[in-house]
A and B are shown apart, each in its own frame.
Chain A
Amino acid sequence: MSTPAAELHANLAPEESAIASGERLAGAMRGFAREVGALSALRLESCIHCGICAEACHFYIATEDPKYTPILKVEPFKQVFKREASAFAPIYRWLGLKRDVTVAELEEWQHLLYESCNLCGRCSLICPMGIDVAALIEQARRGMFEAGLAPKELYEKAARQKRTGQPEETTEPYREKLLAIGRQFGVSIPLDAPQADVMLTVSRTDIEQYPKAVASLARVMAHLKVPCTFRSDGLIAENYGYYAGSRDWQRDISRRLIDQAIACQAKVLIVPECGHAYSALRWQAAELYGAPLPFKVRHITEYVADALDEGKLELRAADAGATAFHDPCMLVRKAGVMEAPRKIMRALGILPTEMTHHIGFDYCCGGGGGVVDIERAAKLRYRAMENKLREIDDTMARTFLTSCSDCRRTFDDAKRHFDWEKTPQSLLELVADHLQEQIR
């Protein structure tokens, strides 16, 4: 018979498990305090408890359980802010109007912050006050990480990635796997060139599960005849430090890629089909690095769309029929890569069937934010995914495309679980399969 405490510790990494209660609390306070600033303060103060954010969250919609209300997920962070740093904080403390956060609460909130949130940002879009709730959840995770309460799967991957560059230990280092994929698909893999205009990165999920996507990346870049390279010491695009909520490890993991890009004097760093990798690098890395990045960050779909616009690339028509595009949250809704995938689809002769009125409003696949990596979260994730699968089915599209390997992985998992008839296709693979030789 497992107690809540035992259950909790089963879900923590050994280093986290070892942390004493008092230390845990101090860690949370440390993490939260670091996140207090004018912007987070403004957001936390603005909440009017209207409950509308719940209506955007697919975890709430699927379960009708009010504990999944997005703003409620940041309650420990809000409480600490109000008690320590708000305008009336001294009065709150003196009169005992806001109590301290407790370890029990933090432990209870682990499920809410990591397992029931994809950081998808729908709640941020619906909030009538304009609060970026997803951003607050990211910040709250940082407090949880310091408290040693990040789920073990995310913690261990983050720790390893910070140390070695790989989130998982593999028999063959990814460098070797990458070269093997090149040989398997008959495409050249530029590796460790001392200097290149474009630095390429690769998605670990693609290396493990969708090697064709990796090959497609190399093939497209080769077709474009752009001087580019992968770098062994900065290969993996994902950032588990971001998922785990470790500010420092997120920075260190991004740093690896930044240093490599600088080393090869790249002007552009390309993020392959991955959502959060793009967000982390394009929108968050500079602040953690402390200076503007000396190169541009582009998602492969942006790069390809730009190439199409500039006439550097032509594509053959693809026979795809009615095709929907699943917007990876971290790429589209949160990071603004809205038009590029559609441009590519139109260049492929495909008319995109939109799932929603506006681009970027569809449901999250359910796997984002690290949720697909957490075993314990699977049950809840499947419930939330029903909304997404229904949304895709409702488009009546025959196929659907996406441009994020984790979304793909999540959909494939759903396919197995629900016996769903659709399969997610990679937009990049489709591009690579329909490259048109340009007649000069």
Chain B
Amino acid sequence: MTVDLVNFARGPALKAAFIIFFIGVVWRLVNVLLLKHTRDLSEPRRGVAASLLGGLKAIGSRSWPHPEFIPRTGAGEALGYSYHIGLFIVILFFAPHVAFFGSFVGLHWPSLPNSVNTIISVITFTLLLAVLFRRVTHRVLRRLSNFDDYFSWFVVTLVIVTGLMATAHVGGPYPTVLGLHILSFDLLLIWFPLGKLMHAFYLFPTRAIDGYLLTRRGAPS
């Protein structure tokens, strides 16, 4: 019940996780980047500037489906985005998180009241459960899903669950549960470059390149 676990979690464990995270992320990105590139020698319909703009636009526009697709996919995408938004709010605007992340970058920003964070965390956790349920019951997702999908879900959910447990003083003395919460974040950092959480980085180049190539052709993106 001491702070020892907290000290370990935010000490050597965090350092190791931090190192693995950066090594892993850059490793994966570089591996993709340095494979062979093919130059597009075809006559473009739109110029380089317009295509670049199209690429940048796609980074944002692909976040939401085109109206033609919304009937079939709107609900699923909304579910996915909602828990992302919930996570971002709590991660960035809960006072202890502001202290944690702020100390890495030497910055400080205002936090939201605890009641707001608690409500959003609970909603986000519920959404995560819904998302898991969907993945396990939806015929396409059942067919597609592998260990990576389930473990990535688990790693993210563990962080939010231990966080809620710590705030609610459930599951053990507060310093111990807090230590587990920070350790679960360390686990998230370690798993990040190994699985599909990398999509947080990939989405930028993939959307941008797709937008660029399609705009270059004058095709819808």
Contact = CB atoms under 8 A, between A and B. Distances in A.
Contacts of B214: 336
A287 B198 CA distance: 31
Contacts of A48: 196, 199
Given A36-B35, A128-B63, A52 B206 contact: no
Interface string B189-221: 000001010110011011111110110011111
B62 interface: yes
A106 to B, nearest CB: 19
Nearest to A34: B36
Contacts of B217: 283, 334-336
Q: Give the one of B62, B144, B194, B207 with max A CB within 10 A.
A: B144
Q: Give the one of B30, B35, B80, B148 with max A CB within 10 A.
A: B35
A64 B69 CA distance: 16
A50 B80 contact: yes
Interface string A258-283: 00000000000000000000000011
Q: Give the one of A38, A131, A335 with max B CB within 10 A.
A: A38
Interface stretch (A3-11, A85-93, A159-167, A316-324): A85-93
Instruction: Report the interface size class on chain B.
Output: 35 or more
A86 B194 CA distance: 11
Contact of B35 (A41, A60, A127, A289): A41
A128 B221 CA distance: 11
Contacts of A228: none
A229 interface: no
B210 A132 contact: yes
Contacts of B208: 130
Nearest to A85: B35
Contacts of B203: 46, 128-130
Q: Give the one of A48, A88, A359 with max B CB within 10 A.
A: A48
Contacts of A47: 196
Interface string A104-138: 00000000000000000000111111111000000
Contact of A52 (B73, B139, B146): B73
A87 B27 contact: yes
A428 to B, nearest CB: 21
A358 B140 CA distance: 27
A37 interface: yes
A27 interface: no
A64 B142 CA distance: 13
Contacts of A356: 68
B38 A130 contact: no
Interface string B65-87: 11111001100110010000000
B175 to A, nearest CB: 36
B114 to A, nearest CB: 32
Name A's interface SS. loop
A38 B66 contact: no
B37 A358 contact: no
Contacts of B67: 357-358
Contact of B206 (A43, A291, A357): A43
Nearest to B40: A287
B126 interface: no
A129 B207 contact: yes
Contacts of A45: 28, 32, 198, 202
Given A38-B36, A55-B72, A282 B43 contact: yes
Interface string A329-348: 00011111110000000000
B219 A42 contact: no
20 contacts: A38-B34, A38-B35, A38-B36, A38-B37, A41-B35, A49-B145, A49-B149, A51-B140, A55-B73, A56-B72, A61-B72, A72-B143, A129-B199, A130-B58, A130-B62, A130-B203, A282-B43, A284-B42, A336-B217, A360-B219
Interface of B: 27-28, 30-43, 45, 58, 62-63, 65-69, 72-73, 76-77, 80, 138-146, 148-149, 194, 196, 198-199, 202-203, 205-211, 213-214, 217-221
Closest 5 CB pairs of A and B: A336-B218, A130-B207, A286-B41, A87-B31, A66-B143
Given A125-B66, A336-B219, 13 more contacts: A36-B35, A38-B35, A46-B202, A67-B143, A72-B143, A129-B203, A129-B206, A130-B206, A130-B209, A130-B211, A359-B220, A360-B219, A360-B220
